[in-house]
Structure 1
Amino acid sequence: MGSITIEQYQQELKTELNHLLQWWSTYTVDEQQGGFYAQVDYLNQAQPAAKGLVLNARILYTFSSAYLLSNKESDLKLADRAYRYLLDFFNDELNGGFFWSLNPDGTLLDGKKQVYGQAFAVYALSEYYKATRNEEALELAKATYQLLEKYSYDEVFTGYIEAHDQAWGLIADLRLSEKDQNEKKSMNTHLHVIEAYANLYSVWPNGALKNAIIQLLNNFREHIVDSKRFHLHLFFAENWEVKSSLVSFGHDIEAAWLLFEAAEIINDQTQMVHFKQLALKMADAAAIGLAENGGLLYEYDGTTNRWIKEYHWWPQAEAMVGFFNAWQLSAKQQYLQQSLNSWAFVKKYLKDKTNGEWFWGVDENLNPMDEVKAGFWKCPYHNGRACIELIKRISRIKLC
């Protein structure tokens, strides 16, 4: 499978990042109705659909991050476009925070305050501030963090309630998507809240924010990471009672590196020691989902012994970073090889060599899934970030 040097790895990722950014610049800019197309199919055809906060925020994050890496004006131009659209259309000036979705013409479709979406706004605005020093963006990120602390934080059991109505009141349907369970708390939301808070802290080292990150790290250690198997529990009642049995291998390996990164960003030595150990245990747990072809399987349900034998795009991207991180923390060659194998799998099966970008995934027989290339959930964030993160990590290694 993957048998290239890390220098070759870095060069291939630089090329891939350029291809990905070019695809998004070429096929997703909506010149008619503003912002970006909500959906582009696997043949690169734009389709009418709801414009989602997550897609817009992830485009803002990715092009801001790319600009920080390479200083290309074309990347800054796309980041500026995403920022303006976020401010002009998604921003709820009356209640604070950001709307969940819009109609294609930018009018409001769903004004609920899904905490997962607010987290991505904070994450993206913080990155955009790094790229531009735009104080307005930083103030928006800080204000959104404060809204989450005011309305979403659970003062009794800690952690964050999944969703609220437009005015931050109670809401009956808390689900992030139709495939999710209607529970008060989820791993996925907490993972992206800590990711967002850590990025905000990197530009605004506030004491209360640091305490919130420490509390989130403790939530992962005490409730979310299974203390015996080191997989992530996915859904919880308000009091952290586990309400799920699925294993999500992509989230296992993504959390492995993101949690250690959060501990690093706040420079908490105790948390860094703990999450270094945990990162390796979680990487080993995620590796149970690795197939012989190098791909990372989607899910496993322990109660029914059922494997979801699909290979979606984002777990492969997170495996590239997560196993590389495990190699950096342990110096064990097997982890580096797993990262290289994940990239080899992407190149062989997921890269669309005809129409660009990556397929949504491949099925059990390794045939491409005819799903969208860009959409409510298919964004440049996982694969774009994997390229950027690994390019930076390899550069730091080469400097040593």
Structure 2
Amino acid sequence: MAADAQQNSQEQEVIMKAPLLNNYAEQYRRELLNNVLPFWLRHSKDEKNGGYFTCLERDGRVFDTDKFIWLQGREVWCFSYMYNMVSPKEEWRQMALHGAGFLEKYGRDANGNWYFSLTAEGRPLTQAHNIFSDCFAAMAFAALDKIAPEDRYKEIAVNTFNNILQRKDNWKGIYNKTYPGTRPLKGFSLPMILCNLSIELEHLLGAQQVDALVPDVIHEVMDVFYQPNHGLILENVYPDGSFSNSFEGRLLNPGHAIEAMWFIMDLGKRRQDPALIRKACDILLHTLEYGWDKEHGGIFYFMDILGHPPQQLEWDQKLWWVHMETLVALAKGYELTGEVRCLQWFEKVHQYTWSHFRDEQYGEWYGYLNRKGEPLLSLKGGKWKGCFHVPRALYQVWKTWDRIME
């Protein structure tokens, strides 16, 4: 009886908060359309050379002209996606085509691998050592094909995706600094991205190929990297999923794990698998509770799963993408499971994120805060932050709360 009374109380609390949820949808929609996308349209486009500037000061001024392929791809994806899913605004379509033209002309080496960085004019700066350039190039051209169908866009997306699959077990190749055989750890980042990337390319790959890929990806994330004894997902494990008591093996990145859980929930929805969704939601909540800074608020960037000092000196910084992806995961978790803790955490993370990362004066959002939640860098874009996590999260949260209210 007591349990029933508690559940009824929780359900009543959710019902009473329904008008607030509706305001969330409108708040996120306005921020996306009136603030964030216009900021990148105004400041990011390189009219002379093509492509985008991503190293932007607080007010949008360009402070470095180098071009990082994964951020170029992310921005092509963003404006293609918004054109397709939000509104067919011609300026968004032209913005996507502008970046794609630069990528198509300069982005790849002779073997079809995507460089990490180029000069403003498109000359290679950093070799194709990072497969995430390939991931976001594939994502970009797949999204572009939906708004400007071209055989060559399809070919670039599919060939790049197939190249990723061929390289996935040794994607660093000749650039791998690890001595072979001593500690053969594998990383979480690529399986995590493949959860989302396979769906992004489904219209090109076909449902049958995606259906064949998805079980292995889910297994990697939910069985290999997930550690049941801790209830957490590690960044690096031995090939069989066993634990390595080393700096790399003890590493937890709460943001990566939480972002992966909304990818898994999307796959669970696609597969009509409520048990998978529930497990992802539970991992999300446990990771958030573990990674939340109980003294200053916000989510830690890196942690050591055994409580030892982390190797990363930036471990206690609060990063934009970690908090944005957490908001997406919590909204989806609440939508798909009705778990009241998702709503409670959403409100808490929402308040922290909007009060600390959003720049009232110049628009867009800060990327890096110190542990106390104060802006550490004034930039709005750089080598790692571009036109991606903020707009994608704003869109996802907006649409998720819209569905909840329906």
Q: Which TM-score applies when normalising by structure 1?
A: 0.85
- Residue 15 of structure 1: aligned partner: 30
5+ residue gaps in structure 1? Answer: 154-159, 165-169, 175-181
Aligned to 2:349: 342
5+ residue gaps, structure 2: 1-16
CA contact (8 A) 1:55 1:379 kept: yes
Flag the 1:66–1:183 CA change in 2: closer, same or farther, 3 A: farther
Q: CA deviation at 1:32?
A: 3.1
Q: Deviations over 1:308-363 (max 9, x none)?
A: 33221011101111111111122122212322332222221111112221111221
For residue 128 of structure 1, report the CA deviation from its aligned partner: 2.0
Higher Rg of the two aligned structures: 2
Query: Which of 160, 167, 171 is matched with 1:162 structurally?
Result: 171
Q: Secondary structure at the match of 1:367?
A: coil
Q: Could you say what secondary structure the match of 2:201 adopts?
A: helix
Distance 2:351 2:332 in 1: 17
Between the aligned partners of 1:206 and 1:332, the Cα distance in structure 2 is 30
Superposition pairs of residues 244-255 of structure 1, within 5 angstroms: 244-255=249-260
1:103 aligned residue: 119
In terms of mean alpha carbon deviation, does 237-246 or 82-91 score higher? 237-246
Question: For the Cα contact (< 8 Å) 2:21–2:405, is it kept in 1?
Answer: no
Q: Partners in 1 of 2:105 and 2:235 — Cα distance? A: 34
Supply the distance in 2 between the matched residues of 1:63 and 1:183 (Cα, whole angstroms): 39
The question of whether the paired residues in 1 share the 8 Å contact of 2:369 and 2:377 is answered with no
- 2:41 is matched with which residue: 25, 29, 34? 25
Cα gap change, 1:184 to 1:304, in 2 (>3 Å): closer
- Match in the other structure for 2:91: 74
User: What is the CA deviation profile of residues 60-86 of structure 1, one whole-angstrom value per residue up to 9, with x for unaligned ones?
Assistant: 111112112122222212111121111
How does 1:141-290 map onto structure 2 within 5 Å?
A: 141-150=157-166, 152-153=167-168, 160-164=169-173, 170-173=174-177, 185-237=186-238, 240-242=241-243, 243-265=248-270, 267=271, 269=272, 272-288=273-289, 289-290=291-292
User: What residue is the counterpart of 2:338 in the other structure?
Assistant: 331
Q: Secondary structure at the match of 2:202?
A: helix
**Counterpart code for 2:251:** L
Choose the corresponding residue for 2:305, options 291, 302, 307.
302
Is the 8 Å Cα contact of residues 142 and 153 (structure 2) preserved in structure 1?
yes
Give 1:234 shift. Answer: 0.5
- Aligned partners of 2:65 and 2:241: how far apart in 1? 35
- Whole-angstrom distance in 1 between the partners of 2:371 and 2:145: 42
Using the aligned pairs only, state the percent identity.
19
Match of 2:392 in 1: 385
Q: Aligned runs of 1:39-54 on 2, under 5 Å?
A: 39-54=55-70
1:213 Cα offset (Å): 2.2
Q: For the Cα contact (< 8 Å) 2:158–2:204, is it kept in 1?
A: no
Equivalent residues of 1:317, 1:382 under 8 A apart: yes
May I ask how many residue pairs the two structures share in their alignment?
373
Q: CA deviation at 1:296?
A: 2.3
Q: Is the 1:217–1:259 contact (alpha carbons within 8 Å) kept by the matching residues of 2?
A: yes
Tell me the alpha carbon deviations over residues 239-270 of structure 1, each in whole angstroms, 9 at most, x when there is no partner.
555442122111121111112213434x3x4x
- The CA deviation string for residues 39-68 of structure 1, in whole angstroms up to 9 with x for no partner, is 113343212353111110110111112112
What TM-score comes out, normalization by structure 2 length?
A: 0.84
The separation in 1 between residues aligned to 2:68 and 2:101, in whole angstroms, is 15
2:65 is aligned with 1:65: no
Q: SS where residue 133 of structure 1 aligns?
A: coil
**Which moved further from structure 2: 225-234 or 36-45?**
36-45
**How far 1:305 sits from its partner (Å)?**
4.1
CA contact (8 A) 1:54 1:376 kept: no
Structure 2 counterpart of 1:67, which letter?
Answer: Y
Q: What's the CA shift for 1:382?
A: 1.1
The two structures, once aligned, show a CA RMSD in angstroms of: 2.4
- TM-fit CA distance, 1:133: 3.1
Distance 1:116 1:184 in 2: 18
Question: Given residue 86 of structure 1, which amino acid in structure 2 is its aligned partner?
Answer: L
Does the CA contact (< 8 Å) of 1:102 and 1:110 recur in 2?
yes
**SS where residue 109 of structure 1 aligns?**
strand
Aligned match for 2:372, one of 359, 365, 370: 365
